[in-house]
């Protein structure tokens, strides 16, 4: 067993563990933390595959920005672990509790079996080009072969942002009446003249 293989096994196990624990938590903050654990482990897998840029971006964008935003929202709404969620839950009969998971697992088996994932190419890591996944190569691909998809994704994100602003704005459509400082009102006319 080589060092690479061991590292892969560990990080893959941690990634799966983090993902599983994430959906099993009642405490939303704990969920986010497990997701971070999973993401960091996934980044390790990416780096091992030579996709260093992907690994770094996974940490910078997902772990560093998006999940911070999640935490921010959770804290702003002050969502604590809710014991009522488990206490007041209607209990399921033992039949439903066992039959549904068994059914799902059997289904999963058949789906995986039917789809027949393509077998991994032989001599996996050795045959990749040296600079595969390096920033330079990713950039070249992004700005030549995949130029239009890239730009369109940008437009899509922009539309999403505008949409979010529109939805957030609707509730406070009326102009705000409160001035931040009492002095603001007095100063306004002179500002408009100057500007």
Partner 1 sequence: MLEMILISSAKVIAVILAVLTGCAYATYMERKVVAYMQHRIGPSYAGPYGLLQPLADAVKLAFKEDIVPDGVERITYAIAPIASFVPAMLIFAVVPFSSDFTFFGYDIPGVISDLNIGVLYVLAMTSLGIYGIVLAGWSSPSKYSLMGGIRSSAQMISYEISYGLSIVGILIIGNSLSLTDIVSQQASESWLFFGNWYIVKQPLGFLLYLVCAIAETNRAPFDLPEAESELVGGYHTEYSSMRFSMFFIAEYAYMIGVATVGTTLFLGGWNGPFLPPIVWFVIKVFMFMFFYIWLRATFPRFRYDQLMQFGWKVLFPLALLNTMGTAAWVVLFG
> Rounded to an integer, what distance in angstroms lies between the CA atom of residue 42 and that of residue 12?
7
Q: Does 180 bind partner 1 (CB under 8 A)?
A: yes
Q: Judged by CB under 8 A, does residue 152 bind partner 1?
A: no
69 binds partner 1 (CB under 8 A): yes
One symbol per residue from 25 to 54: x for binding partner 1 (CB under 8 A), - otherwise; what is it?
--x-xx--x--x---------------xx-
Q: Toward partner 1, which CB reaches closer, 108 or 150?
A: 150
Instruction: Output 173 or 180, the one with its CB closest to partner 1.
Output: 180
Q: Which of residues 81-110 bind partner 1 (CB under 8 A)?
A: none
172 binds partner 1 (CB under 8 A): no
Does 75 bind partner 1 (CB under 8 A)? Our answer is yes
How many residues in the shown chain lie near partner 1 by CB under 8 A?
25
CB of 162 to partner 1, least distance (A): 16
| Calpha distance 26→80 (Å, rounded) | 9
* Range 1-30, binding partner 1 (CB under 8 A): 27, 29-30
The CA-CA-CA angle for residues 109, 22, 63, to 5°, reads: 115
**Could you list the residues that contact partner 1 (CB under 8 A)?**
27, 29-30, 33, 36, 52-53, 56-57, 59-60, 63-65, 68-69, 71-72, 74-76, 78, 134-135, 180
């Amino acid at each position: 067993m080589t060092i690479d293989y061991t590292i892969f096994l560990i990080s893959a196990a941690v990634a799966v563990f983090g993902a599983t624990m994430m959906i099993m938590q009642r405490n939303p903050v704990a969920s986010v933390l497990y997701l971070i654990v999973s993401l960091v482990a996934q980044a390790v897998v990416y780096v091992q595959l030579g996709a260093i840029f992907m690994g770094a971006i996974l940490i910078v964008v997902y772990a560093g920005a998006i999940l911070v935003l999640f935490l921010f929202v959770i804290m702003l709404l002050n969502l604590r672990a809710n014991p009522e969620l488990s206490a007041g839950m209607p209990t399921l009969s033992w039949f439903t509790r066992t039959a549904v998971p068994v059914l799902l697992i059997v289904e999963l088996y058949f789906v995986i079996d039917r789809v027949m994932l393509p077998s991994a190419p032989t001599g996996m890591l050795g045959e990749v080009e040296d600079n595969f996944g390096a920033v330079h190569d990713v950039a070249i691909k992004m700005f030549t072969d995949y130029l239009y998809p890239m730009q369109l994704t940008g437009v899509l994100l922009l539309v999403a942002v505008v949409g979010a602003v529109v939805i957030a704005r609707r509730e406070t459509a009326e102009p705000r009446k409160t001035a931040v400082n009492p002095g603001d009102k007095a100063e306004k006319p002179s500002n408009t003249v100057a500007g």
